[in-house]
Amino acid sequence: MAVFTYTVREASGATSSGTVTADSRVDALNSLRNKNLFVLDLVEQEIETNVMAGGFGGGFFQRVKLEELAIFTKQLAAMVGAGIAITRSLDTLAKQQSKNPYFRNILLQIKADVAAGLPLSAAMAKYPRIFNPMIISLLISAEETGTLDTTLEDLASTLEAEVALRQQISAGMRYPLIVACAALIVVSFVMIFVVPQFATIFESLNAELPVMTKIVMAVALFMKSWWFLVAALFIGLPWLMNLISSFPVGRQTLDMIKLRLPVFGDLTKKIILARTSKVFSTMLTAGVPILKALSIVEQSSLNSIYEGAFNHIKSAVREGRNINGPMENYPTLFPPMVVAMVAVGEESGTLDQMLLKVNDFYTREVETMVQKLTALLEPVLIGTLGGIIGFIVIALWMPLFRIIQIIQEMG
């Protein structure tokens, strides 16, 4: 027998919490539903502790890529669906991880735990760096309902969708980033090695230089003398951003800026909506209680502003309200179409399907927007580079033109 903590909504609309003892989650759900209660959250206390417990760490180079995890989940789903024992499946898949011995060793340890009688979800929960709470929650629900193979397929689909989304964004932004880096290198080379050569010429003339020339010369001499500071600024910028993000206020400020940037802010919102709708749909399809699902969705947004919105929605649902009502309080985060589709899904009992439609729509929106941005950024970057180089050339040649003019007048 196990003890479950529940949160339910009664027929009158009021919510209540308590505990129930049952042999499994399914029995606990049936017991509550037989009392005409709508289950909002149901957690087995011991399993919940294992899910969030720490586990084997690993250094920077000891990690599992999302692509590797998606492939592993897809293969495990196929093997379990074919009736192959989990221990044998894990052993076979571990042998295939020749390029990642770290992942191979973890799979072998999970296999040993499962062979010793531990559920797959509990064995994987020891490694939260690899198997996040979403994966563990889905596996717990699948083990109790006997749908491990189909749940693994849904999980693989979710991970593959996230991989495809990241690759789509990366592919679209790769060329503009290459152009931007090339422009930075060219401008830095000119400012550090070329422009200072003109400094000695201008000093020998002992003449008043134009403002443009003074600006270029000052920047060039600074970059030549303090080039290591300039290099440290660009190299350390990602580290500085991570440092700022480590503080709640700093992270919230940066996340707010990301959402309010022209064009890129809209793209960020669409990416978050595509990701969270897919995760939410997968959790509901697997039978995960809605409050637990909302907690996972909150974490998957990867944005503190959206996390706050989802936390407010979760609190409203715990009080007995629907999801679409609190969503309307955040019109800048959840467009009317999303709110309307969620409302239809709640009324018709097809929320998971409506969320899939939201995911499909925003996935296509992200693809279209990335393509447009790529086409737009290319000429903008090239034009910017041309403008900078042109400014430098004009600034350097203006004094020379003036000298030539003076010489001609004297002749």
Locate the domains of the chain by residue range.
2-51, 55-131, 161-411
CATH class of the structural domain 55-131: mainly alpha
Tell which phi-psi region holds residue 335, choosing left (phi > 0), alpha (psi between -120 and 50) or beta: beta
pLDDT tens-digit map of 147-187: 888 889 988 888 888 888 888 778 777 777 887 888 888 88
pLDDT of amino acid 225:
83
Residue 44 above 70 pLDDT? no
The per-residue pLDDT for 48 is 39
Examine the pLDDT at 60 and tell me if it is beyond 60.
Answer: no
**Do the domains 161-411 and 55-131 match in fold?**
yes
Q: Exposed (0-12), middle (13-18) or buried (19+): which is 133, by Cβ within 10 Å?
A: middle
Give the model confidence (pLDDT) of 99-111 as tens digits: 888 899 999 999 9
Q: Which range, 35-44, 178-187, 325-334, is most confident?
A: 325-334
Q: Write out pLDDT tens, residues 266-320.
A: 999 999 999 999 999 988 888 888 888 898 899 888 899 999 999 999 999 888 8
DSSP calls for 40-64: EEEEEHHHHHHHH-------TTS--
Pick among 1.20.81.30, 3.30.365.10, 2.60.120.260, 3.30.470.20: CATH of 161-411 = 1.20.81.30
pLDDT for res 340: 94
